[in-house]
């Protein structure tokens, strides 16, 4: 039996148990790194950490002290352990929501940008979940904070209307595995907002919570150096432009119109908006560029405050918040994530 509509059957998230308050993070950085910061950046750091847009975050460590001079081999081992564990937890919860078991899974797609292992995370999940060794699996890397939506695009294409297929989309990031500190405002901002977490979405070609209607993507490579990871001394360092909000808002707006215009939809037709919480300034820039009422951004701001920016799974934490509060049949929803590249990706969804 064929049904061309692919929908989200369930969505679940997972975070590590260590909860870090902003005051604790600021104290840790001040204690260990104040001597390497110039007076200007030290003053800016204290101001950034005092901003109420982020209140707490979840970090995949037992103790913050392990981040100081963390051995690269220990770091990738920590990344691997927590990436697999959080992905497993999110998948387990997502399957339970719809009464499925691991035996029902026919495909798995995992994306991350905060660590590289070969073979990929999907193979570890195959083993941990006890999946069949002949299911379709893909590992996606390099999409940054926007990676969860290309992941959904791949999952939708894998199903191709087959009613028996159940494909799981996993986004997982251990941003703490890229921790660096120097007299660099990019790193100070990164250490004030980034966190760790995972999301899992079960997709199938049956009625579900939200139907995947259409997707759109844009990549403005002229801004590649403004938002990316770079390698220094063999380790990842986050690189963020202070002007990121200015051009990110415009790129996001173009993706949104790519979704709406061909379908005769207007901004006011969209009941629910899930934006990647890339930071206070970026959220404000997107709001102003699209002229979206502030009330429509409440879920995005809630996630930033309670979880920080977990890179790719974060926008799905926002969508989870929206679903938990309730969506009525027929409601339109748009999710948009943006990141390295500069790239922006969006999905138009319908309840």
Domain-by-domain residue ranges, the chain? 7-204, 210-350
Query: How far apart, in whole angstroms, are the C-alpha atoms of residue 304 and residue 197?
Result: 13
Separation of alpha carbons 47 and 23, rounded Å: 11
User: Does pTM surpass 0.85?
Assistant: yes
Which candidate, 261, 148, 300, places its Cα nearest to that of 292? 300
Inter-axis angle of helices 280-290 and 244-260, to 10 degrees? 40
252-306: pLDDT as tens digits: 999 999 999 999 999 999 999 999 998 898 899 999 999 999 999 999 999 999 9
Query: How many CA atoms, within 13 angstroms, populate the side-chain half-sphere of residue 329?
Result: 2
* CA distances to 115, 211, 266, 296, 345 from 260, in Å: 35, 15, 6, 17, 13
Bond from prior residue into 151 cis (ω within 30 degrees of 0): no
> According to the model, what pLDDT value does residue 160 have?
79
Q: Which fold has domain 7-204?
A: Peroxisomal Thiolase; Chain A, domain 1 (3.40.47)
The 10s digit of each residue's pLDDT in 16-27 is 999 999 999 999
210-350 CATH fold? Peroxisomal Thiolase; Chain A, domain 1 (3.40.47)
- Return the sign of the alpha-carbon dihedral for residues 285, 288, 291, 294: positive
Rounded CA separation 328/351 (Å): 7
Confidence of residue 1 (pLDDT cuts 50, 70, 90): very low
pLDDT value at 156 more than 50: yes
The two structure tokens encoding residue 216: 């759109």
Q: Encoding tokens for residue 62?
A: 């037992």
Q: Is residue 229 a contact partner of residue 236, using CB atoms and an 8 Å limit?
A: yes
Confidence of residue 210 (pLDDT cuts 50, 70, 90): very high
- Asked whether the predicted pLDDT for residue 231 surpasses 90, the reply is no
């Amino acid at each position: 039996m064929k049904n061309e509509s692919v929908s989200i059957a369930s969505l679940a998230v997972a975070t590590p148990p260590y909860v870090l308050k902003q005051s604790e993070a600021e104290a840790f950085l001040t204690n260990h790194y104040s001597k390497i910061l110039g007076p200007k950046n030290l003053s800016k750091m204290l101001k950034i950490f005092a901003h109420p847009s982020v209140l707490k975050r979840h970090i995949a460590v037992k103790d913050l002290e392990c981040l100081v001079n963390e051995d690269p081999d220990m770091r990738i081992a920590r990344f691997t352990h927590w990436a697999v564990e959080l992905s497993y937890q999110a998948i387990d919860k997502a399957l339970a929501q719809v009464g499925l078991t691991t035996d029902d899974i026919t495909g798995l797609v995992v994306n991350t940008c905060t660590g590289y292992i070969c073979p990929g995370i999907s193979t570890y999940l195959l083993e941990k979940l006890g999946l069949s060794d002949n299911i379709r699996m893909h590992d996606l890397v390099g999409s940054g904070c926007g990676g969860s939506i290309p992941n959904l695009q791949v999952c939708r294409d894998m199903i191709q209307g087959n009613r028996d297929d159940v494909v799981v989309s996993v986004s997982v990031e251990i941003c703490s595995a890229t921790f660096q500190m120097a007299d660099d405002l990019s790193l100070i901002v990164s250490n004030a907002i980034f966190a760790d977490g995972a999301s899992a979405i079960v997709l199938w070609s049956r009625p579900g919570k939200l139907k995947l209607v259409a997707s759109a993507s844009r990549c403005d490579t002229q801004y590649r150096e403004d938002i990316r990871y770079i390698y220094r001394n063999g380790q990842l360092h986050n690189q963020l432009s202070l002007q990121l909000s200015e051009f990110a808002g415009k790129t996001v707006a173009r993706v949104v119109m790519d979704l709406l215009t061909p379908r005769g939809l207007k901004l006011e037709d969209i009941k629910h908006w899930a934006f990647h919480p890339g930071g206070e300034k970026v959220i404000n820039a997107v709001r102003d560029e699209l002229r979206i009422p502030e009330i429509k951004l409440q879920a995005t701001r809630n996630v930033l405050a309670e979880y920080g920016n977990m890179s790719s799974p974060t926008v799905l934490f926002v969508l989870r918040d929206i679903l938990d509060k309730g969506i009525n049949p027929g409601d339109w929803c748009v999710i948009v994530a943006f990141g390295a590249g500069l790239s922006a990706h969006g999905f138009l969804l319908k309840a």
